[in-house]
Structure 1
Amino acid sequence: MQNTISKKILLPLLASIMAVSPLAIDLYLPAMPQIADDLSTNMPAVQNTLSIYLIGYALGLLFFGPLADKYPRRNLVIIGLSGFILATIALLFARDIETFTGLRLFQAFISSAATVVVPGTIRELYKKDTAKGLSYVSMIMMLAPMIAPAIGSAILLIHSWQAIFVVLTIYVIAVLTFTAKLLPNSGELKATQHVSFFGRYKTVFANKSARFDLIASMMVSLAFFAYITAVPFVYLTVFGVSEFVFSLLFAATVFALMTAHLINSKLVVRKGSKRMLKYGLIVAVITSSLLVVVTSLELPLTYIVLTILPLMGSISMIAVNADALILQNFSHQTGTATAVIGVLRFGIGGLAGPILAYFYNGTAQPFSMLMWLSILVVLLAQLPRMLNDKKTKDIS
């Protein structure tokens, strides 16, 4: 990759590309009731467009992942952002829920062409310090879901739900403009252009050293989506907090995630991704176990928050280092590896809702148990490596 572009410029650009989908998801959440009324449908139908978006995004990752290893990355970003802009403009003219849903599906599918290249670009830029670059990008990107609902609500006060998608279009046009000017093309792609589409997936799944990190990435995603799915019920219904207090608690969680990424970015160069993943896992095991105790004893909300914040921070630390370790195994299949990570992450994350619904008992205990069990699976997957590293250290 060309090194003429400063990391201080390139990393915010990559973060802004990655923020497209979180903004597309979170900006319109406050407008769902208005969309339902305007399109003469019910709330469940509009809520389903969120699931449809996630499905479209996962399918897009499967399709564009191998292409990101074959064609120039900047070209894919331009295609993805341009298609997203067209789909978003078309949403302004949707007059029924079927059209709206179809456009959301396409919007998500084409946007993945832009985002799937970002981890590979970071890997190429940071080499063995990939986790540091991923932490920086994640830290910047997390501002999007933190402020998006508030921005969406403010736009609704001024205008309509269509205005939300106008603002989203303007944002993506700006990102596309900077991408075309600043994002360099990859210089590492030619070596594997002869490999078939499915051959690239075979290469990723055949890599034994990446399997346990894929399990870690997948299972912490289940824990993360368990939190996202359950926390409105836990805070608003079980503990009866106001919407304002809920927004503060949610913002505190995002701040904990950003803090964890900041800590990781400062330490990972010295400690390495394996050790940082281990540190995050230790904190996750302790705090998830405490969360089970707290919910079982039905202790006050303060205790829930004090365990949730470090738990969510540790989950993000595990995820970013697991992803970095996976990508380090694939110098020429980073797009495909990113697709595999994304599909497994969204696929397992989609199970959180049905699992929590099945074990629903009106308390916070099912969500705490699901998070705890997810972390235990990560521990079991990482334990052989941790024991092997200890044995190697003892021998040396």
Structure 2
Amino acid sequence: MLRLAIILGLLGLVGPFAIDMYLPALPRIAGDLNATEAQIQATLTAYFVTFGLGQLFYGPMADQTGRKAPIVLGLAVFLAGSVGAMAAGDATSLMLWRAFQGLGGAALMVVTRAVIRDRYTGSEATKLMAMLMLVISVSPMLAPLAGSAVIAVSGWRMVFGVLAALAAVNLVLALFVMPETLPKERRVPVNLASMRRGAKVLLTDPAFMGLTFIGGFGMASFFVFIASASFVYTGQFGLSPTGFSLAFAINAVGFFGASQVAAMLGARFGIRRVVRLAVTGFFLFTGTLALVALAGFASLPVITALLFCGNACLGLVIPTTMVLALDDHGDIAGLASSLGGTLQMLAGGVMIVVSGLFFDGTATPMLVAIALCAAISFTLTLISLPRRAEAAA
């Protein structure tokens, strides 16, 4: 299990690094390209939207051809997008190449989930998902710092050069190291009729949809933070790119630490109960922070402390809801993973756009949007995972 987790984790680093590594440079990119904050935030939205929509293609492809082919294709597309972003001359072209990056990176998200479902279910799958999160969680801690170092030495364009090199290394890894986990006899021919049938099953399954959006709006809260934090931390609080990177990393520590005990807590108390309690904590911490901000008392230490607690709760929510959503759909795991991922990424993209309408460079709009995401997840949890269902976990 450890070897598979490391392989999937290294592949999975590509997408998060594409998000986190250039965050310290967002204000500088805006200046260099004569762009507004909203235009630069749109480069993140473009990435998330194509990242989500691309999963609708890669998931069925993974069910038909096996797991390796879509990963190889996705890495190749991501590599091309990275080279294009490196040479972008304005905000619009950067947005388009970022969309291309997202289209390639989508394969790495959806197929790694399906690989886990190929081998494991239940608590074992949660354990492997948490081990995968262990590797991926390095990204929010190290990627901004690495990005700051690259920016200081070579400028923000070289960040995309590093991402291109990372994609090339992972392409070799996918071709020669990653095992194929879907045998030929279990592959499902993909056609529109089968996709419609599978999509209908998933879209009309209240448990699947509820769990997908519980995790989806949890992820959306982090996307809102990603889109706004560099402007808030460097503008309102005067942090340097390195200082922002360190503050950003603190949030990842809470998420990372909690994700590693998700499987143990799920086995002991029931996965559904863990989700209920974790979403409640997420809602309380972020809601409190939003109220504090609206009252005018949101200092940097207060924001850092409460976001740390909220993201620790989120670390229990994301891996567990992923596993629960796929548990009953092993025969269409690729489609289920891709559809779920698409819906989650679209939710994240929508929340970035909505929060961007009110963003003024200060922390309050960002924190209120994060609390709104938590409130939606909490409401969906009350509907999708009623207390009486905990005994079945």
Question: Structure 1-normalised TM-score?
Answer: 0.84
Structure 1 CA distance for aligned equivalents of residues 365 and 24 of structure 2: 27
Distance 1:30 1:381, change over 3 A: closer
Distance 1:288 1:33 in 2: 26
1:217-256, aligned counterparts within 5 Å?
217-232=215-230, 234-238=232-236, 240-243=237-240, 244-256=242-254
Evaluate the alpha carbon distance shift between residue 36 and residue 361 of structure 1 in structure 2; reply closer, same or farther with a 3 A threshold.
closer
Alignment of 1:295-310 (within 5 A): 295-299=293-297, 301=299, 302-310=301-309
CA deviation after TM superposition for structure 1 residue 72, in Å: 0.7
Q: 1:1-396 to 2 correspondence within 5 Å?
A: 7-30=1-24, 41-44=33-36, 48-89=42-83, 91=85, 100-129=94-123, 130-187=125-182, 190=186, 192-193=188-189, 196-232=194-230, 234-238=232-236, 240-243=237-240, 244-299=242-297, 301=299, 302-359=301-358, 364-384=363-383, 385-389=385-389
* Matched AA of 1:262: Q
- Which stretch has the larger CA shift, 311-320 or 351-360? 351-360
CA distance in 1 between counterparts of 2:87 and 2:250 reads 37
Unaligned runs of 5+ in 1: 1-6
1:185-208 deviation digits (Å, cap 9, x = unpaired): 233673632663333322321223
Deviations 1:295-339 (A, max 9, x none): 344336233333221111112321221111101121022222222
CA 1:298–1:10: 2 relative to 1, 3 Å:
same
% identity of equivalent residues: 24
- Whether contact under 8 Å (1:79, 1:114) holds in the other structure is no
- TM-superposed CA distance for 1:102, in Å, is 3.9
- Structure 2 unaligned blocks of 5 or more: none
Asked if the contact 1:77–1:115 (Cα under 8 Å) also holds between the matched residues in 2, the reply is: no
Equivalenced residue count is 384
How far apart, in 1, do the equivalents of 2:368 and 2:213 lie?
18
Q: For residues 222 and 47 of structure 1, do their structure 2 counterparts lie closer, same or farther at Cα, with a shift above 3 Å needed? A: closer
Does the residue aligned with 2:182 lie in a helix, a strand or coil? Answer: coil
Q: Is the 8 A contact 1:219 1:378 kept in 2?
A: yes
- Read off the aligned partner of 1:50 and give its amino acid letter: L
Deviation, structure 1 residue 172: 2.0
**Kept in 1: contact 2:59–2:334 (CA 8 A):** yes
Question: 1: CA distance between counterparts of 2:228 and 2:172?
Answer: 38
SS, match of residue 351 in structure 1: helix
Q: Distance in 2 between matches of 1:299 and 1:234?
A: 15
1:146 and 1:254 in contact (8 A); partners too = yes
Q: Is the 8 A contact 1:72 1:186 kept in 2?
A: yes
Deviation larger for 51-60 or 357-366: 357-366
Q: Equivalent residue of 1:117, what SS?
A: helix
Distance change in 2, residues 1:283/1:128 (3 Å): same
1:37, CA displacement in angstroms? 8.1
Partners in 1 of 2:127 and 2:187 — Cα distance?
26
Change (3 A) 1:235 1:67: same
- Shift of residue 158 of structure 1? 3.3
2:367 and 2:28 mapped to 1: Cα distance? 33
C-alpha displacement at 1:267, in angstroms?
2.7
- Checking the alignment, whether the CA contact within 8 Å between 1:17 and 1:175 is kept in structure 2 is yes
Deviates more, 1:219-228 or 1:319-328: 219-228
Q: CA deviation at 1:246?
A: 3.5
Shift of 1:99: 5.4
| TM-score between both structures, scaled by the size of structure 2 | 0.84
